[in-house]
Amino acid sequence: MCGICGWIDFNRDLGGPDARRELADMTATMANRGPDDEGNWIGGPAALGHRRLAIIDIQGGRQPMTLQEDGRPDLVLVYTGETYNYRELRQRLAGQGHRFDTSSDTEVVLHAHREWGHCDPRNAVRELNGMFAYALWDTAKRELLLVRDRLGIKPLYYYPTEHGVLFGSEPKAILANSLAEPAMDADGLRRTLSFVADPHNTVFSGMHEVRPGHVVRVTCDGIQQMTYWQLTDTGHTDDVPTTVRYVRELLEDTIQRQLIADVPLCSLLSGGLDSSALTALAAHFSDRRIRSFAVDFVGYTNNFIPRPWQPTPDGPFVQEVAKYVGTDHTDITLSAHELMDPGVRAATLHARDLPLTLGDLDSSLYLLFRAIGQHSTVALSGEAADELFGGYSYFHDPAHIQRDTFPWIEDTDDFARWFLDPGLVEKLELPGYVDEQYRRALAEVPALTGPVSANPHERRMREVCHLSLTRRLPGLLDRKDRMSMALGVEVRVPYCDHRLVEYVFGTPWAYKTFDRREKSLLRAATADLLPQSVVQRVKSAYPEIQDSTYDRMLRARFTALLNDRNAAVAPLLSVDGSRALLDPTRNRRRIERILTLQDFLNDYKVSLTI
C-alpha cells in the first residue's frame, strides 16, 4: 500500500527546479501512506511521485516503476494497493513471453497493460482482482491513465489545469501544488452537510474523484472518463443451498488470496457475524496464529445502554470468538479524554482531508490503528458485508424502504433548520440536493430480469442494495482507508472481492432473507465456523462511547464555538444553534459535523464562496 501523486503539463517541461520542488512537496504529503520509501520520475510533461508502504517483494517493488522498450522508458507506473491474482497473471504473461525483474504485483500490472491494454486500457484493468489506484504514463502516446478499483476501496483524485492535470491519493497531495486552490462552493457545502457519497462532488471546487470502476484518460486533447466495471443483473438461477455453498467457496478463495503478505497481518474483530467469519477463515487458512484487535471504551460493557442500532456491546462476543478461534487477541480500551484530545482530532481531520469526520467514531478508529501499527502492517476488515448481504436495519424496515429517498439518510432539512442561517438554508436547499443525488443514483440501477422482476418488493430491494453499495459503502471505505493509512496500516476488505459482490448482488432478496433474518446467506455460509451466540447475534453498529464525560466535553467545545463571532464557520450558523445543546447526545453527529467544518475551514485555509 502506498501514496501516489503527479502532475501532467503538456505545455511545459517539468524537469526544471521549480517543478521538481512542487513534485517533492506533493510527494511529501503522502509520507504517512508510505513510510518505507520514496521515489519520483520526471520526463518532459510528466512528473510522478510515490511513497511506499512495503507489503510484497519488499526489496524489489520500488516505484515509480518503468517498462522499457529499446532501452528507454515506455510505460511508467505509480501504484497503490494490491492485485491479489498477480501470481496467476504473472504466469499467463510469462507464457506470452514477458520477462520479470521483480516478484511484485506492481510489475505485473505494468506488463498487463503492455499485453492487454494497448488498444483499450480497460481490457488490462478487467484482468485485475484487487484493491488499487494507479497512474500509468505512456511516453510514446503522451497519455496518462488514472485507474481505480471496482468498489472504490483505494482513493484517487484529480484536478484539471489549463494544460493538463494534477492527481493524488488524497486531496492534500494536489493542494500542495501552487496550481490548486483550496476552495469550496455551495455544492461543496451541500456535500459536507448531507450524508450521501456523491461521486461527482469532492467538496473542493475543481477537484474530482476517479469514480470506482472507471479509467480517466488524460491527453493534450482533454480528459475522458471510461467505465470498465459496473453492477449488472446476472439472472441468478442457483437455488438457495447452491448459493450458500458458492458464497462459502468465494469467501475461502478470497481470504486465501488476501492472506498473502511479507509483513505481519491481523484481523479487526467486533464479535459480529462479518468480522468473526473473516477472522475464523483467516485463522483456518493462515500458517501462523492470527492476531486480532478490537476497540473498547473504559467501563463500556458494564455500563452499556442498549440502543436500536447497538442492542449489545461487542466485548463479550469478541472474547468468545477470540477464544473459540484461537486468535492472539488485544483489546484497545479508550477513554473520553483520549477521544477528545485536540491532537487526535486534528490528526483525524488531516487524515480525512475533508470535513466529513465522525467525531468519536473516527478518533477511536484512528487510535485503534495507532495501536495496531505497533504489531501489524496489514489488517483484514469486514466492510461491505452489511451492504452486500442486507445487514442494516433499514433493509428490514418497511417505513424506510418505502421512502422515496436514500433509506438511511436523516432529515437534512431538520438538520439545516437547527444549525444554519435561514438565508443559507434557503440557498443550499439541501432536500433538493439530496433528491437530485437520489434520482441520479436510481438511474444507474440495472433492471431486474427473470421471474422475480414481477415482484415489486424484489425490484425495490434491488434498488436499495445498489444504493447501499454505490452511495453508502464508498464513504465507509474511504474512512477506513484514511484512518489506517495515516498510520501506515493497510486494510484489506475481503467482502469487496468483485466476484463475491457480483454474485451476491444478483441473488433475489428472498434468498438474502431466507431464514427471515438479516444476512441469511452469510450466516448459513459461515455458521459452522463460529459460536452459536455470534451466529444468532443481531447486527450492532460500530461502537460509540457512551460516557457522559464525552458529551460534556463536546458541549463545552460547541458552546465556545457559538460564542466566537470570529469563527470561520460563524457566518453560516443560526443564532438558534444552541438548541442542539439541549440534547447533546442525540445531536452528537450534527454537532461533530459543525465542529469539523470549523476546523477544516481554519486548517486548510479554505476559500468559501456561497
Mean pLDDT over residues 555-566, rounded? 91
User: What average pLDDT does the segment 106-127 reach?
Assistant: 95
Residue 393 has pLDDT above 60, yes or no: yes
- Please, which residues bridge with residue 81 across strands? 132
Model pLDDT, residue 56: 60
What's the angle, vertex CA 305, arms to CA 294 and CA 408, rounded to 5? Answer: 75
Distances (CA, A) of 275 to 246, 248, 286, 517, 545: 19, 15, 16, 18, 20
C-alpha distance from residue 579 to each of 247, 417, 570, 574, 584 (Å): 49, 11, 16, 10, 9
Mean pLDDT of the chain: 93
Could you tell me what percent of the chain has a pLDDT over 90?
A: 81
Return the pLDDT at 262.
Answer: 78
The pLDDT confidence band at residue 37, using thresholds 50, 70 and 90, is confident
Instruction: Assign 577 a pLDDT band (cuts: 50, 70, 90).
Output: low
- Residues annotated catalytic, as ranges: 2
Asked if the model's pLDDT at residue 189 lies above 70, the reply is yes
Q: What is the C-alpha to C-alpha distance for residues 450 and 237, in angstroms, rounded to an integer? A: 9
Kind plus residue range of the DSSP H or E element containing 459: helix 456-467
**Taking residues 478-500, what's their average pLDDT?**
96
Give 216-238 as a 3 state SS string.
Answer: EEEECCEEEEEECCCCCCCCCCC
When pLDDT is averaged across residues 540-560 and rounded to a whole number, the result is 93
CA distances from 526 to 259, 275, 329 (A): 18, 11, 21
Detail the DSSP E strand segments found in 152-242. Answer: 157-161, 164-168, 183-184, 208-209, 214-219, 222-227
What is the number of H-type helices and E-type strands within the chain? 25, 19
Instruction: Note the pLDDT of residue 35.
Output: 76
Query: What is the dihedral angle through the alpha carbons of 291, 297, 302, 307, rounded to the nearest 10 degrees?
Result: -100
